[in-house]
Amino acid sequence: MQTLKTNSQITGKPTRLGIISALAEEQEGLIQAMQHAERHVHGMREYTVGNLWKVDTVAVLSRIGKVAAAMTATTLVERFGVTHILFTGVAGSADANVRVGDVVIAESLVQHDMDASPLFPRFDVPLTGLSHLPSDLGLSSRLAGAASTFLDSENGATLHRGLIGSGDQFINDGMRLAALKSALPGLLAVEMEGAAVAQVCFELGIPFAVIRTISDNANEDAATDFMAFVKTVASRYAFGIIEKFCRNHAA
Ligand code: SAH
């Protein structure tokens, strides 16, 4: 069976990595670590183009939610010519085995608030025939390699790979989470951007990966846990993992 080639395989373009986070705390340190950094403002966002540990990179904050993330991913590809995209950020846990401080890498992503039933099955992105949008296996595996090396030095944190759900809601309600989990077995984490980036990358033929550090349990304590976590842990994790990823890539 013939497999579809990605854009950069077809054009033979050298790698240019797009790195998206929703919030400044999720990406802190990376911009400062960039060499030859140049800032470009477009569509109310700041895109920083430069070298991260020898990898040609464009880093940007998307802001929160699916539309914001889709707009940012599209711009990275169409205007800044990125060939690969990584999303790094935090998420709520959707599984008892996934704890605050653990890391989840998406195997696939679903827009958990997409529901055009009965015209299309619940969760299907209409007219694509897909509900679970797969991430790029090669990129995700390299990211997982970097994450597990990083986590070896973090006491007790575990790396998980599986389904991430995205929707335009901050989930802080155990009942709502349980309902989602029963409709989407295998759901490991909930957030607000990943599956939108997945749809854009799927449609534009761009390999992508999504990595999320768990900041809260998507229950009634989520807002308080989230606020404490993003300030203290999120950027340290993102920085440590992306550094290892880029160094391995450039080696
Ligand atoms: N109060 C924050 C808003 C954060 S929204 C502020 O003012 O900045 C939560 C962000 O973290 C989103 O980008 C989302 O992707 C992720 N996230 C973390 N925990 C989440 C949860 N329980 N439900 C949904 N998204 C969550």
Domains of the chain: 14-250 (3.40.50.1580)
Give the percent of the chain with pLDDT over 90: 86
The 10s digit of each residue's pLDDT in 144-181 is 999 999 999 887 899 999 999 999 999 999 999 999 99
pTM of the model: 0.95
At 126-136, the pLDDT tens digits run 999 999 999 99
Q: For residues 99-123, give the mean pLDDT.
A: 97
Residue 81 in contact with residue 17, Cβ under 8 Å? Answer: no
- Nearest residue to 195 via CA among 95, 79, 140, 113: 113
Taking the CA of residue 169 as reference, the ligand 1 atom at the shortest distance is 24
| Residue 86, beta-bridge partner list | 19, 209
Task: Using the predicted structure, report yes or no on whether residue 2 has a pLDDT greater than 80.
Answer: no
| Mean pLDDT of all residues belonging to the chain | 94
Q: Give the H or E element holding residue 18.
A: strand 17-21
Q: Which atom of ligand 1 is nearest to the CA of 172?
A: 22
pLDDT for 82 equals 98
Q: Which residues surround ligand 1 with Cβ inside 6 Å?
A: 22-23, 64, 89-92, 170-172, 190-193, 215-216, 218, 222, 226
Q: What is the pLDDT of residues 213-235, one digit of tens each?
A: 999 999 999 999 999 888 888 88
